[in-house]
């Protein structure tokens, strides 16, 4: 394995429509997780690089003497770029999915699904002329009309996690750009190439230079964006501690912030559920993308007496899964880094120490791939106690926990008692029970016989509690609101036959 930087290419920032090395000397290695090898290094931007990226975005927003900037560009121009971008993306889905798999590790079919869900938001943004329409009230008073328009914020910052390097940035930037903002994206340093690829494609689609910029980096770049006076808003997705930090620091600096955090998603299985559907769903949602999804199911709450039968069904299905290189037809790929793999695997020791039973131990898996890949096979832990860190931590890997509960009420109390509120699902054939759950549960996204209830692009995505700081969800109507600010104009045009009604120092009233 090589860590020699001179032996690998270095990924530059994309600022003002061109690649640039920037001022910082710092870099980080980027791995192919299925090979366990460093394939490139990525630049880690400094505060000076943040200044350069934000200045480029600011210039593209403002234009010269108030003219030619993206902020004042016509709706037609923005829509034309979005349609073209969608067309280009659609034709090159496979290329994007392949880049994604080579740095993230998720299997190609899963990467293709990620790309498809990102394209959904681009398609939503193509409808911005309709979505961002204002409102008009004629004759609110004599000769007076009031209208509200939605204007862009200016330069917006997007900070994204490693687990969806294409989809999560696409939750935000199509809407930001279509509403007239300019963007600085700070992608995860673990799988950064997708961001540059998207930037080049936006340029090909006709987006003017500087409207979309990619600044690579780590905490220094994030802090630079949070502190920069010309950055109007921050859209963050990542772990809860960093989401909270970003929210507090960003809002303290006067910015609009939406910060989506971590999760621990529970699937509640009632005794009348179709257990084959439940087992398929638990395996798909627990081990897809090696469990590195914020909407992964990590806990199955089995209401008595279905536990034993369900565990058997899940174990049988797990036996059929192939773990290996995502380019080679495996069902599940590697984890993102060696350190993360070791941390996740460590929870299997914790499970044993805490009295749970490890039904399937993924540490023994022989992966269909290179020996140095960051492998951990699908793992199943039964009888997990709710005080164990296996239950309380967001493990973010292929470890599925089964918790036995005596009743619907006990399961619901566990879900509502946890710190997160991202996603959850109930499996039942009782419509009344499902409807009751929908209302009882304190979680932002709920599935009924659907294990990963990620809303479509025209409904907004976001959890409750420690899964989302701020009050704006991602994409959908909430996304349009987040990236625009409303201006209300009250206008009086006298009829040509009338004259001014004279002095009156009283507060204006409508008549």
Q: Which residues sit at the interface with ligand NAD, rule CB under 6 A? A: 159-164, 168, 186, 188-189, 218-219, 222, 237-239, 242, 260-263, 294, 394, 396, 422, 463, 467
Cβ proximity to ligand NAD: between 49 and 382 the closer is 49
Name the minimum Å distance from CB 168 to ligand NAD. 6
To ligand NAD, the closest distance from the beta carbon of 286 in angstroms equals 14
- Report whether 306 contacts 273 (CB < 8 A): yes
**Least Å from the CB of residue 105 to ligand NAD:** 14
DSSP H helical ranges for 205-273: 219-227, 240-252
Residues facing 464 on adjacent strands: 421
Q: SS3 for 89?
A: helix
* Apex 374 CA angle, 370 and 377, nearest 5: 95
Q: Is 294 a catalytic residue?
A: yes
Q: How far apart are alpha carbons 173 and 175 in whole angstroms?
A: 5
Query: Nearest residue to ligand NAD, using CB?
Result: 238
Q: Which of 57, 294, 301, 367 is catalytic?
A: 294
Question: Which H/E stretch holds residue 420?
Answer: strand 420-421
Q: In the complex with ligand NAD, which residue's Cβ is closer, 313 or 473? A: 473
Looking at the DSSP assignment, which residues form a beta bridge with residue 64?
Answer: 67
* CA–CA dist 104, 166 (Å, integer): 11
Q: Tokens 């067309």 correspond to what residue?
A: 87
| CA 260/CA 247 separation, integer angstroms | 9
Cβ proximity to ligand NAD, 60 vs 335, nearer residue = 335
CB of 121 to ligand NAD, least distance (A): 13
Min dist. Cβ of residue 399 to ligand NAD (A): 14
When the beta carbons of 78 and 228 are compared against ligand NAD, the nearer one is 228
Q: Which two tokens stand for residue 244?
A: 């909270």
Asked if residue 399 lies in contact with residue 348, where contact means CB atoms within 8 angstroms, the answer is: yes
Sheet containing 10-11: order of strands: 10-11, 37-43, 27-32
Q: Which is nearer to ligand NAD, 147 or 464 (CB)?
A: 464
Nearest residue to 259 (alpha-carbon basis) of 278, 241, 246? 246
Bridge partner residues of 260 (DSSP): 237, 468
Q: Alpha carbon of 45 to those of 61, 162, 218: distances in Å?
A: 22, 17, 7
CB of 5 to ligand NAD, least distance (A): 19
Of residues 242 and 381, the one with the C-beta less far from ligand NAD: 242
**Eight-state DSSP code of residue 207:** P
As annotated, the active-site residues are 294
């Amino acid at each position: 394995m090589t860590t020699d930087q001179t032996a690998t290419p270095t990924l530059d920032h994309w600022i003002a429509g061109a690649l640039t090395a920037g001022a910082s000397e710092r870099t980080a290695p980027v791995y192919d997780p299925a090979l366990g090898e460093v394939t490139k290094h990525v630049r880690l931007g400094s505060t000076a690089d943040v200044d350069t990226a934000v200045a480029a975005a600011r210039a593209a927003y403002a234009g010269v003497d108030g003219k030619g900037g993206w902020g004042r560009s016509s709706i037609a121009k923005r829509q034309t770029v979005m349609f073209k971008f969608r067309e280009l993306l659609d034709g090159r889905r496979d290329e994007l999915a392949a880049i994604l798999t080579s740095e993230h590790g998720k299997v190609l079919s899963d990467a293709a699904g990620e790309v498809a869900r990102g394209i959904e938001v681009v398609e939503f943004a193509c409808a911005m002329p309709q979505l961002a329409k204002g409102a008009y009230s004629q004759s609110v008073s004599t000769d007076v009309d009031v209208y509200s328009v939605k204007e862009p914020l200016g330069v917006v910052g997007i900070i994204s996690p490693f687990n969806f390097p294409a989809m999560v940035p696409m939750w935000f930037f199509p809407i930001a750009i279509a509403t007239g903002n300019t963007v600085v994206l700070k992608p995860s340093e673990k799988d950064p190439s997708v961001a540059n690829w998207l930037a080049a494609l936006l340029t090909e689609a006709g987006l003017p230079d500087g409207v979309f910029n990619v600044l690579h980096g780590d905490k220094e770049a994030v802090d630079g964006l949070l502190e920069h006076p010309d950055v109007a808003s921050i859209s963050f997705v990542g772990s809860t501690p960093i989401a909270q930090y970003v929210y507090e620091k960003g809002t303290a600096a006067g910015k609009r912030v939406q910060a989506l955090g971590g999760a621990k998603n529970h699937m509640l299985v009632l005794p009348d559920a179709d257990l084959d559907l439940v087992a398929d769903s638990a395996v798909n949602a627990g081990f897809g993308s090696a469990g590195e999804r914020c909407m992964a199911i990590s806990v199955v709450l089995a209401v008595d007496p279905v536990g034993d039968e369900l565990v058997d069904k899940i174990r049988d299905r797990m036996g059929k899964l192939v773990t290996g290189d995502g380019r080679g037809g495996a069902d599940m790929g590697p984890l993102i880094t060696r350190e993360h793999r070791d941390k996740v695997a460590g929870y299997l020791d914790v499970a044993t120490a805490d009295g749970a039973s490890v039904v399937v131990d993924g540490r023994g898996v022989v992966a269909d791939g290179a020996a140095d890949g960051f492998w951990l096979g699908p793992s199943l832990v039964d009888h997990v106690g709710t005080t164990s860190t296996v239950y309380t931590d967001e493990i973010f890997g292929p470890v599925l926990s089964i918790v036995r509960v005596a009743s619907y009420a006990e399961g619901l109390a566990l879900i509502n008692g946890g710190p997160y509120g991202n996603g959850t699902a109930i499996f039942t054939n009782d419509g009344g029970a499902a409807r009751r759950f929908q209302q009882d549960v304190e979680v932002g996204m709920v599935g009924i016989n659907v294990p990963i209830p990620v809303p479509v692009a025209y409904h907004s995505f976001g959890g409750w509690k420690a899964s989302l700081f701020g009050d704006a969800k991602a994409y959908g109507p909430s996304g349009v609101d987040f990236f625009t600010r409303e201006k209300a104009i009250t206008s009086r045009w006298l009829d040509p036959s009338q004259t001014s009604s004279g002095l009156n120092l009283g507060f204006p009233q409508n008549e």
